[in-house]
Amino acid sequence: MIRTPALDLFPVLPELILAGAGILALLYQALAPRPKVEGHLALALAGLAAAAGASIALWDRTGDPTVLAGAIQADKFAVVARLVILAVAAVGLLYGAHYYDRSGDEARGEFYPLVLFATMGMTLITAAADLIVTFLALEILSLSLYVLTGLSRRGQATEASMKYFLLGAFSSAFFLYGVAMAYGATGTTRIPAVAHALAGQTGSQALALTAFGFLAIGFGFKVSAVPFHMWTPDVYQGAPTPVTAFMAAATKVAAFGALIRVLDVSFHPLAWSWEPVIWVVAALSVIVGSVLAIAQSDVKRMLAYSSVAHAGFILTGLTSSNQDGIRAALFYLIAYAVMTLGSFGVVMLVSARGEEQTSLASYAGLGRRQPLLAGLMALFLLSLAGIPPTAGFIAKVGVFGAAIRAGHWPLVLIGVLSSVVAAFFYLRVIVLMYMQEPAGEQLEDRAVLPRAALAIPAALTLVLGVFPQIVLGVLDKASVLRW
C-alpha cells in the first residue's frame, strides 16, 4: 500500500474551487438547454469570489509554509498574487461577456471554463513550490490561452493562436530543460530545496547556472521580455480584446510571481551571477518595447509593445534580489494589471462590434465623441507613462528605487529615458483623442455595464497613485518569501 501524506488541501482551496467552477461551467455549457451569458457569468464570478475568499482566509495561516509534500507554498506572497489574478479574471470575464454578446459569435460558452482554468493555472503557478508544479501550471495557463486566443471568427485570431502555440511550446521545451537541469544540479525540483542545495554548495554550480539560464528563457517568453517577446504584439493584436486584456494583465502577474520565487528563492544563492542577465534583459525590454511602440498604428499592438517595456520595468525592480525588489515588482504588477485592464477595456469599447476600430485613427476626436471613455483612456495612458498622481508613477518609483538601491543606476537611467520615449506614444493617443477632429463616421458601443466595470480600474489607478500605502502595507508582508 502506498502511504499518502496527510492531506492539507486548505492551501490549494482556491485552485480547487477554480477547477470545480471550471468543470461546472463546462457542464452548464454542455447540459443546459440554452446556456445563457448571465448564467455563465454568474457561475464564473461566483467561483472567482469563492476562490478569492479562500485566498483571503489563507492570509493569516500559520504553520509549515510548504505543504502537499512540498508542492505548494502557502505564504502571503501567494495570497496577494492570487487575489490580483482573480480580480483580473473577474474583470476579464465581464469584458468577455460583453464582447461575445456584442460580436454575435455564437455564444462562446467555452470562454468561461477556459478563463477559469487559465486562472487556476495562474494562481497555481504563483503558489508552486516545486518546479514541476510550476511547469504544469504554466502549461495549464498556456494551453488555455492558446485556445482563448483563437476564440474568435477572425482570421487574425487563428493566426495569433498558431503563432502563440508554436512559440509557446518551443519555449516550454526550454523551460522543461531548465527544470531538468535544476534537477540535475541538485537532485530535486523543490524550489526551496534547490536553494538549500545551492547555498550548501552541494549542487553543481555549472548545471545550476544552466538551469537558471533555461528557466529565465522560459519565463522571459511568458513575461514578454526581449528577445523572447516577439509573439507578444502579434498575439495581443490578434486575440479577442477581452482575452488580450486578461492575458496581458494576469499572465504577467502569474509569470512574474513564479519568476520571483525561482529567482529569489531557488537561485538566490547565485544572485550575483543572474543579476546581470536580468539587468540586460530588462534594459533590452525597456528600450525595444518603448521604441517599437512608437511606430505602431494599431492600439492593441502599441499596448503590446508597451507591455514589453513594462516587463522590462518589472525586471528592473527584480535586479535587486531582496524584499525591496519583490515588493516593488509586486506593486508594479498590481498597477500594471489595473492600467492594462483599464486601457484594453477602453480599446474594447472603442473597437465596435468586432475589432474593426483598433487603429489609432479611430481614436481621433474621441474626447469629443465619448468624453468619458477618452477621459478614462487618458488616465490609464498617463498611468502607463508613469505620470503622477497615478499608480504607474508610484510603481515606477518603486522599481527604480529598488534597482538603485542594488546599485543598478545605469539601468534605471535607461529606464527613465525610455519612459520618456514611451510617453511619446501614450501622448500620441491623447493627442488623437483631444486635439484632433473625429475622422468620419465611427461605430459606437454605448453599453453601460462595461463602462461601469471600467470604474474599478480607474478608481484603483488613482487610489494606488495617491494612497499607495494601502497596498504597500500589505505588500510589506507579502514580499517576504517564506521557505
Site for other proteins in 282-311 (CB under 8 A): 288, 291-296, 301
Interface residue with other proteins among 49, 50, 421, 463 (CB under 8 A) is 421
Q: Which of 107, 427, 447, 456 binds other proteins (CB under 8 A)?
A: 427
Residue 274: what residue type? Answer: W
Site string for other proteins, 172-211 (x = CB under 8 A): xxx-xx-xxx-xxx-xxx--------------xxxx-xx-
Pick from 129, 144, 150: which is nearest to 85 by CA? 144
Q: Minimum distance between the CB of residue 87 and other proteins, rounded to whole angstroms?
A: 21
Q: Which of 52, 114, 195, 458 binds other proteins (CB under 8 A)?
A: 114
Q: Does 104 bind other proteins (CB under 8 A)?
A: no
CB of 107 to other proteins, least distance (A): 12
The count of residues interacting with other proteins (CB under 8 A) is: 135
Does residue number 159 form part of the binding site for other proteins (CB under 8 A)? Answer: yes
For other proteins, the binding residue among 100, 135, 246, 363 (CB under 8 A) is 135
Which residues neighbour 59 within 8 Å (Cβ) at sequence distance 6 or greater?
76, 79
Give whichever of 59 and 170 is closer to other proteins, judged by the CB atom. 170
Distance (Å, whole) CA 258 – CA 218: 11
Q: What is the dihedral of CA 409, 412, 414, 415, to 10 degrees?
A: 180
List, as own/partner pairs, every contact residues 321-324 make where C-beta atoms lie below 8 angstroms and the sequence separation is at least 24, other chains included: 321/263, 321/264, 321/268, 321/271, 321/275, 321/406, 322/264, 322/402, 322/406, 323/479, 323/480, 324/401, 324/402, 324/405, 324/406
Stretch that binds other proteins, among 15-23, 40-48, 55-63, 73-81 (CB under 8 A): 15-23
Which cell numbers in the block locate residue 316? 528592473
Q: Is 462 in the site for other proteins (CB under 8 A)?
A: no
Report 220-259 residues binding other proteins (CB under 8 A): 220-221, 226-228, 230-231, 233-234, 237-238
Least distance from other proteins to the Cβ atom of residue 460, Å: 16
Q: Which is nearer to other proteins, 210 or 357 (CB)?
A: 210
Closest separation in Å from C-beta 420 to other proteins: 4
Residues 36-65 that bind other proteins (CB under 8 A): none
The answer to whether 132 contacts other proteins (rule: CB under 8 A) is yes
